Structure 1
Amino acid sequence: MITIFGMKTCPDCTYLEPQIEGDERFRTVDIGEDVKNLKEFLRIRDVDPAFDEVRGTGSVGIPCIVLEDGRVTLDPADAGLTPRPETGTACRLDGKGC
């Protein structure tokens, strides 16, 4: 199963929703819904090299995708999904993603 950590208020995350709707290969975890979900995400974010460039930039690092083999990625294409175009709304402080 592929796990996607995100939030309902993140435009990059909500862009993926229609692509995975009804697809049992995917599990979504809303990190804003419950502190347990946030802690599950932070356990990954705090140590995984996929976040090396994200930490300290004003970005949360979502959507965060944990592939079936356990590899962590911030690129939806690695899970066969189409990332949101880089135009429009962003939730990072510099306006360039989430």
Structure 2
Amino acid sequence: MKLIIYGTKTCKDCVDALEVLEQKNVRYLFLEFSDSIGNLKRFLKIRDTNPMFNPVKEKGGIGVPLFVFEDGTMTFELDDVLARIDAASE
């Protein structure tokens, strides 16, 4: 399963999610955007065009970590990621 994570290592939720995924030996591509303008632009394009971010933006949030599966499904929830990984391994 291909998993892409947008985030930054200055975000506690991002760091916590990465630690859990590491402990579970989940392979992922982490697109850190605090040190990459290219990664930030890719994230902002998603954030600015996807209505799933509207409630996050209304509350002043950023919307990370953002988990993107190979089929394009996106979630902010680590529990969703773990459930999908568990289902794929059965």
> Shorter-normalised TM-score: what interval?
0.7 to 0.9
Show CA shifts across 1:15-63 (max 9, x none): 0122222532x11111111111100101110111221211232111100
The TM-score with structure 1 as length reference comes to 0.73
Unaligned runs of 5+ in 1: 82-98
Aligned match of 1:19: 20
Residue identity in the other structure for 2:62:
V
Percent same amino acid among aligned pairs? 35
- Distance in 2 between the 1:8 and 1:54 partners? 19
The TM-score with structure 2 as length reference comes to 0.79
Unaligned runs of 5+ in 2: 84-90
- Distance in 1 between the 2:8 and 2:80 partners? 19
Task: Name the count of aligned residue pairs.
Answer: 80
Residue identity in the other structure for 1:38:
L
Aligned match of 1:68: 70
- Distance in 1 between the 2:58 and 2:33 partners? 19
Residue identity in the other structure for 2:58:
G
User: Once superposed, what is the RMSD of the aligned Cα atoms?
Assistant: 1.5
